[in-house]
Structure 1
Amino acid sequence: MENFLKDLFVNQSYDENSFFLIAGPCVVESEELVLEVAEKVYDLCKKHGIPLVFKSSYKKANRTSAHSFSGLGDEIGLGIIQKAAKKFGLPTTTDIHSEREAELAAQFVDILQIPAFLCRQTELLVAAGKTGRIVNVKKGQFVSGEAMKFAVEKIYNTGNKKVMLTERGTTFGYQDLVVDYRNIPLMQAAGVPVIMDCTHSLQQPNQTSGVTGGNPQLIGTIAKAAIAAGADGLFIETHPDPSVALSDGANMLRLDLLENLLVQLVKIRKAITAQG
């Protein structure tokens, strides 16, 4: 595990050979929801020795429809994420979409996440790097794993070496994504930790309804294959009842299904590390 990740998880007790988990509801819908999910995921990860980063978006700037929920307000949403961080002693992450947002969000969270559609936006990457926070760049659905070394380089040029990359699928036609697991070692070759986004990689975008579809029944398949392929971390959005979620309900894992999946993933990871 990279030193900056060890520093991030310094207050957590975990198996040193474990993958790390980034998890939480897609968007800050309410303080009650955020604290409920944070508590549950925190308890599960503590129980199974998995280091955890709590994730929720304070703002959704890239919604398909103008009528979709985009957030409660910037500082309100960020404040709720920060409250969960303080209550459970967890590092946190959220999306940013502009240079201004990089400066704002860096005051509240530990990791700035660059959305896939924005992975080539130089000024955004530079602004995120200059905050000194860890920067997690999601691989664009239109970008090869090897090409993501240029995103890493842009951030490194700011003097910030705390960078991670996330695989989240590749566009296949207009309404589907596929995961090329070769991208995990290809992006690791850039010298950074690589995460598998197990929920967004199952999106079915560009639906005529204006609401993105998904295949959440395959989250376990994506996650298990990613651990087998050597991913350093997993990204899983989860919600007590995805059917009523205000964003990405079609992709999130139901919260009560998370523990069984984590148990399986821990077993796979242990089997792999036992082989050396």
Structure 2
Amino acid sequence: MAGPCAIEGEEIALRIAERIVSITDKLQIPYIFKGSYRKANRSRIDSFTGIGDEKALKILQKVHTTFGVPTVTDIHETQEAAMAAAYVDVLQIPAFLCRQTELLAAAAKTGKAVNIKKGQFLSADSMRFAVDKVMESGNQQVILTDRGNTFGYQDLVVDFRGIPVMQSFDVPVVMDCTHSLQQPNQASGVTGGKPALIETIAKAAIAVGADGLFIETHPDPANAKSDGANMLPLDLLEDLLIKLTRIREAIA
């Protein structure tokens, strides 16, 4: 799963998607385009939240029809599930909301695949209950995505033991290589990050057997409207994925 943090406009979304599709097609990597149609969890009230729900969702739909790839976006409240499901293939539950029973059930009942981000405040074992909520709502299409664990007030740390633990629930497990490097709760009100370590997190995840990777990427992270501090520059993606496919082949 890869794409910009937020949908900023049609031209840039299609440009990012076209570039990633060309890379993943060449490397024969299954690909899901990621973009948030709205950012609900922001540090400040004046932070960018989106270009409008329907406008952004239609852009996600256009990515799907233009390039023939599935798309994923996050939802925040129960009433958003059916709305977003009309446009995208995978509904994502944000980490802070992974215990919200009604939200998980609403996503499940759309029939779309549900990608649940592991809460920064939860153990890997605890995610079993999130999986159960979706499956017991009649949907067996569940993905779990690790995005690190809260470490102090302003940092995260990845415990790679969580990948095989969550795989034991018989669901695919993805490593979020960019959000796991966030440095939240900065005094400025803008989340920081350590993007220089994206390759380190990605290599380790593949080495321990992760089923997939989640990478937010942008042609100009410094000017991205959301989470630029921990995104991968788009022109570095191909080289990274080439290295990762070699690791995957070595452990196969």
TM-score category by the smaller chain?
over 0.9
Unaligned runs of 5+ in 2: none
The answer to whether the aligner puts 1:117 opposite 2:117 as a matched pair is no
Q: Over aligned residue pairs, what C-alpha RMSD do you find?
A: 0.4
Aligned to 1:193: 172
Pair 1:234 & 2:213 matched: yes
Could you give the per-residue CA deviations for residues 97-146 of structure 1, whole angstroms, max 9, x where no partner exists? 01111110000001000000000000000000000000000000000001
Post-superposition offset of 1:53: 0.2
TM-score by length of 1: 0.91
1:141 to 117, 120, 128: 120
- Is 1:86 aligned to 2:65, yes or no? yes
SS in 1 for 2:79: helix
Q: State whether structure 2 residue 155 is matched by structure 1 residue 184.
A: no
1:49 aligns with 2:32: no
Q: Does 1:24 align with 2:24?
A: no
Matching residue's letter, 1:217: A
Specify the alignment match of 2:143 in structure 1: 164
Higher relative contact order (CA 8 A, sep 6+): 1
Same amino acid, percent of matched pairs: 65
Cross-structure match for 2:78:
99
Residue 220 in structure 1 maps to residue 199 in structure 2: yes
Distance in 2, Cα, partners of 1:99 & 1:159: 16
Counterpart selection for 2:232 from 228, 244, 253: 253
Separation (CA, whole Å) in 2 of partners of 1:146 and 1:194: 13
Cross-structure match for 2:16: 37
Report the Cα offset of residue 159 of structure 1. Answer: 1.0
* Number of the residue aligned with 1:263: 242
Aligned partner letter, 2:98: C
Cross-structure match for 1:243: 222
1: CA distance, partners of 2:188 / 2:82: 35
- Please state whether the residue corresponding to 1:146 is helix, strand or coil: coil
> Match for residue 17 of structure 1?
none
Which whole-Å CA distance do the structure 2 matches of 1:166 and 1:184 have between them? Answer: 9
The aligned length equals: 252
Distance in 2 (alpha carbons) for counterparts of 1:102 and 1:157: 17
Instruction: Return the letter of the residue paired with 1:79.
Output: K
After superposition, what is the alpha-carbon deviation per residue over 1:66-90, rounded to whole angstroms, capped at 9, x for unaligned? 0110001111000001101110001
Aligned to 1:5: none
Residue identity opposite 2:225 in structure 1: L
Instruction: State the partner residue of 2:38.
Output: 59
Spell out structure 1 runs of 4+ moving beyond 2 A: none
Which residue of structure 1 aligns with residue 50 of structure 2? 71
CA distance in 2, matches of 1:187, 1:98: 25
TM-score by length of 2: 1.00
Deviation at 1:187, TM superposition (A): 0.4
User: Is 1:175 aligned to residue 154 of structure 2?
Assistant: yes
The Cα offsets for residues 42-83 of structure 1, whole Å up to 9 and x where unpaired, read as 000001110100000000000111011000111100000110
